[in-house]
Chain A
Amino acid sequence: MITTEQEKSGSGTMGQSPRSPSSLPSFLKVSVTDPAKLGSGVQSYVSYKVITKTNLPEYDGNEKIVIRRYSDFVWLRDRLYEKYMGIFIPPLPEKSTVEKFRLSAEFIETRRQALDVFINRIAAHPELRQSEDLRIFLQASEQTMESARAVDTNIFTKSSDLMQIFKDVQSKVSHVLGKEKPVEESTAEYQNLKNYIFQLEDRLAEAQKHAYNLVKRHRELGQSLSDFGKAVKVLGNCEGDALGKAFSELGETAEIISSRLEKEAHSLLMDFEEPLKDYVRAIQSVKDTITERANAFRRQCELEEAIKFKEIDLQKLRLTRPDKVAEAEREFDELKADAAEATKRFETIVSRINDEMVRFQEQKTADIGLAFHEFAKGQARLANDVARAWSSLLPRVEACSA
């Protein structure tokens, strides 16, 4: 569980909220726990307890417990995405489409952990943590939550809907411009960022794949050791005396190591593979934000072009159709306002992305560093335990040749 490391985050002011008592630093700590299966059959789902502990005055009380399900988290994420352009919204674990797997203990556990990480990242982010939607999520009654969810799913489900709106605008404008080629920022800074993120995603996904395989390998090795142990024990019964005993103990040892491996496989999954997966998802979230930036840029460019043409039109109208001038001027002003807004929006996104990248890199180094540490710790402990188990067998084996 990642606790909010408030002292460590990058930009934005942490420390004291203006309204909290000046002697205490403000904190907002959330945990997602106690998954419970509810409902039945096709409609069964898992609910989680979300426990909030805070001293922020915007929240009622120091501690609040609510029940939330996966789609509630999705709602929160979508709201944040729509409202905080340019900020890397923490990623959510994937939906699971396979029915059987959806309710497996391992899946529920990894999902729970990922949701916990998600909500805490939001709580740690200087801007996101102030979101109204977050407060609703953490505090509202289950009914309120449910109705909020129902409303919003109709309007702003995906960012692709937003893009659709932009595309409509674009299509109105582009026939004026007559251009087909998509306009893109040509700065080295932007191109480098884009390439970096896209390539990073590929390489990370590969590493994550192998990490997942490594978990499998641990289980497979455990299984084969267990089978081997059983077979060897049977063999030991055929032999007599010391050798037979040695075989039996070999079998015992193999079985002990087998269950140790199974345990390690689980730790490996939770402490190493999942953080890597989280990293991959985070990169995808960054990609989404970059896409937003690209859209904003395009809109800004197109509006600027549209203004130029409109100005020319206006000149023409002033000379030919004075009666239409007033309306055209109004349209022109609207266009200018839109353009200003688009520019402002684009610039906000760019500036936010720059801040976010710094924050992101810092956070990732810490997250992955921790994951590496846990991985190495697990492997070292496993190796030592295994070595110890085998060495305890050695005197018995040596006794055979005596």
Chain B
Amino acid sequence: MMGSEPQSDHPLARGNAEDEESPHLPSEQMQTLALNDDDDDWDSAAGDVSSSKSYSNYRSAMTALSPSASEHHPLSPPPSVTAASDPLSAPPRSRSLDSPSYADVIVSPFHDRFPESNGSGEISDDAANSSSPRSESSGVEYLKIIVSNPQKEVEPSNSVVTRENTYTSYQITTSTNIADYGGSSFSVRRRFKDVVTLSDRLSESYRGFFIPPRPDKSVVESQVMQKQDFLEQRRVELEKYLKRLAKHPLIKKSDELRVFLTVNGRMPLPTSIDMASRMLDGAARLPKQLLGESSSVIEPQDVSHSAKGGRDILRYLKELKQSVVNDWGNTKAPLEEEDKEFLEKKVKMYDFERHLTSASKQAESLVKAQHDMGETLGELGLAFIKLTKFENEQATMNTQRARAGDMKYVATAAVKASRLYKGLNGQTVKHFDTLLEHMGMLLAAHNAFSDRASALLTVQTLISELSSLHSRAEKLEAASSKVFGGDKSRTRKLEDLKEAIKVTEDAKSCAIKEYERIMEHNRSEIQRLDRERQTDFVEMLKGLVTNQMSYHEKLGNEWAKVVEETRKYAKDST
């Protein structure tokens, strides 16, 4: 198996998810109807209603869960915003709901735990979300990144023929206390292509590590590219990606990331040259290699890179052949994956991935169901409010007024319940985020394991190469010993062969070292993943359970009020 592209059809990275038609209430309707004074103001109700428009399934809800989509948590204290340093403008947040209860304290672990994370220009709950207990438990080293301010830019065309290219650049603001960065705050502009480059460079330098997958490239028309929704979604994805990179203990200190985040002006990392031109280069070399004019051995310095990304087509072909021989040949491979523990672990991980995926799907429908419940409660409340108004206006009898009054209690409770469900759902979505994060990590693990496999393949190829070189050398020696006095051309060939054997031996040692390195990276990453997963999942469970508990407690209280207010109608009271 050759090294694969690090990013594929990953749910985390997926762009436009299916949009479902969710019935929404015109915000004007809600704003013109008056309610009791002790209710939250209608602006936030309207805000809730219109934000439900942007929600379709929970993945896109998550990407939309940014400061500009007001899915705010009604129970959290409004976080402090330092207007000067943050590039994002915060939307007005809703006031906290009434009666605080014990549950309020437990409900927002993210906010309570890291008060300092709100200080340095971060407002989104996402941001607080990412500063999880793992990387910040000692509050020692942090690396905070915000992506904002998409701007259209024009790339000047360098030829008369091609059109000017427009692209979007994003402002990337970093604040950090990591010493290597040589500063505490930076701001650069980058475009999506630069992120792709960063991702490619990282996957080359950090073979065997679980590198978070980057957001998908989207193959869409240029018109869509400039649409607000798309830009916003991409901005959120980019931010999440960079934050994940910043969480990785090694990558956060990497040169690649540092340079990406701090160096102003054009992207300082070498850009990935596309496959085609690599192939072209390689194709140009190939005939020379085959004819012996160019070196046909695999160089030691090359082995630390995967064959696929390089320009050495001959090597690529050799490794391809080796993989076929491995799969279909009769003899055992020259070196095999021996680590049983690893193999078992891999199987377990892939199993887990399947189950995680299906749990994530169910989580998604759960979120949708909660959302719909909130919507319908809201619509019911609204319908009763209209009825209340109507009866009051038309009342000719007191019984009508009494009924109108009763309806108002129910309407009020229904609207409040609707808001509670929306709040609950907002929190639920964030907690389920953990599932998606870990699915992403498992994808990263796939890539890391394929790095390992490709390194192994390189070793195997070199071993096969060596054995064939040795047998050619032997044959040559046997042949030339039969000729007395030696054969000039044969001797020279033999010397070349011996040279090739030496280089290949070196390459083999390097390849083995590389393979062992990658194995070690795999091992430590697996451990890190397991640890992090434990912690994250516990957090998630706690959060889910606490949220459900506290919101339902509140729901119970709201309805209990109505029970009292309508007690006179109860059957047993007659």
Contact = CB atoms under 8 A, between A and B. Distances in A.
Interface centre among A230, A238, A373, A390 (most CB of B within 10 A): A373
B560 interface: yes
Nearest to B103: A387
B549 A231 contact: no
Interface in A361-387: 361-362, 364-366, 368-370, 372-373, 375-377, 379-380, 383-384, 386-387
Given A5-B574, A373-B567, A401-B542, A235 B356 contact: yes
A230 B548 CA distance: 18
Nearest to B352: A238
Contact of A390 (B361, B370, B548): B548
Contacts of A239: 537
A231 B559 contact: no
B380 interface: yes
Contacts of A391: 545, 549
Contacts of B363: 228
B494 interface: no
B553 A383 contact: yes
Given A366-B569, A386-B548, A375 B355 contact: no
Interface in B510-558: 534-535, 537-538, 541-542, 544-546, 548-550, 552-553, 555-556
Interface centre among B351, B394, B544 (most CB of A within 10 A): B394
A239 B355 CA distance: 11
Contacts of B376: 210, 213-214, 216-217
A230 B560 CA distance: 32
Given A207-B383, A224-B365, A370 B555 contact: no
A369 B569 contact: yes
Contacts of A5: 574
B408 to A, nearest CB: 10
Interface centre among A218, A357, A362 (most CB of B within 10 A): A362
Given A214-B376, A217-B372, A243-B534, A231 B359 contact: yes
A211 B115 CA distance: 43
A213 B569 contact: no
A169 interface: no
B542 A372 contact: no
A10 to B, nearest CB: 9
Contact of A387 (B358, B370, B409, B556): B556
Contact of A376 (B377, B413, B544): B413
B566 A247 contact: no
Interface string A209-252: 11101101110110111011011101100110001001100100
A361 B541 contact: no
A225 B545 CA distance: 13
B380 to A, nearest CB: 4
A377 B409 CA distance: 13
Given A217-B372, A250-B541, A369-B403, A383 B359 contact: no
Contact of A361 (B400, B535, B544, B574): B400
Contacts of B356: 235
A394 interface: yes
B413 to A, nearest CB: 7
Interface string A232-276: 101100110001001100100000000000000000000000000
A231 B362 contact: yes
Contacts of A397: 538, 541-542, 545
A386 B551 CA distance: 10
Contacts of A146: none
Contacts of A324: none
B410 interface: yes
A36 interface: no
A329 B567 CA distance: 66
Given A383-B556, A401-B542, A210 B380 contact: yes
Contacts of B370: 221
Interface residues of A, number: 64
Given A207-B384, A243-B537, A238 B373 contact: no
B357 to A, nearest CB: 9
B571 interface: yes
Given A365-B403, A379-B555, A220 B372 contact: yes
B373 A372 contact: no
Contacts of A377: 559, 563
B365 A217 contact: no
Interface centre among B359, B407, B413, B544 (most CB of A within 10 A): B359
A380 B566 contact: no
B355 A210 contact: no
A393 B545 CA distance: 7
B541 A365 contact: no
A398 interface: yes
A221 B413 CA distance: 20
Main secondary structure of the interface of A (DSSP, over half): helix
A368 B387 CA distance: 13
A199 B560 CA distance: 31
B555 A227 contact: no
B29 to A, nearest CB: 12
A361 B399 contact: yes
A224 B368 contact: yes
B386 interface: yes
Contact of A217 (B369, B403, B542, B569): B369
Given A203-B387, A210-B380, A217-B373, A384 B362 contact: no
Given A243-B538, A390-B548, A227 B365 contact: yes
A400 interface: yes
B563 A373 contact: yes
Interface in B397-415: 397, 399-400, 402-403, 406-407, 409-410, 413
A207 B410 CA distance: 12
A364 B395 CA distance: 14
Contact of A394 (B379, B383, B546, B563): B546
B404 to A, nearest CB: 9
Given A221-B373, A376-B562, A213 B570 contact: no
Given A213-B376, A400-B541, A368 B560 contact: no
Contacts of A176: none
A373 B570 contact: yes
B230 interface: no
Interface string B409-444: 110010001000000000000000000000000000
B93 to A, nearest CB: 25
A209 B400 CA distance: 22
Contacts of B406: 365, 368-369, 372
A231 B563 CA distance: 36
Interface in A310-368: 357-358, 361-362, 364-366, 368
Interface string A269-296: 0000000000000000000000000000
Given A368-B406, A394-B546, A213 B566 contact: no
A33 B379 CA distance: 35
B571 A370 contact: yes
Contacts of A358: 397, 399
Contacts of B387: 203-204, 207
B348 interface: yes
Contacts of A199: 390, 394
B538 A384 contact: no
A380 B379 CA distance: 19
Contacts of A365: 399-400, 402-403, 406
A369 B568 contact: yes
Contacts of B361: 231
B269 interface: no
A386 B363 CA distance: 18
Interface centre among A221, A358, A376 (most CB of B within 10 A): A376
A214 B414 CA distance: 11
6 contacts: A221-B372, A228-B362, A373-B562, A373-B567, A377-B559, A380-B555
Given A238-B351, A361-B403, 4 more contacts: A218-B373, A376-B562, A401-B535, A401-B538
Per CB-CB distance, the 7 closest pairs between chain A and chain B, nearest first, are A369-B569, A376-B562, A383-B556, A380-B559, A387-B552, A383-B555, A373-B566
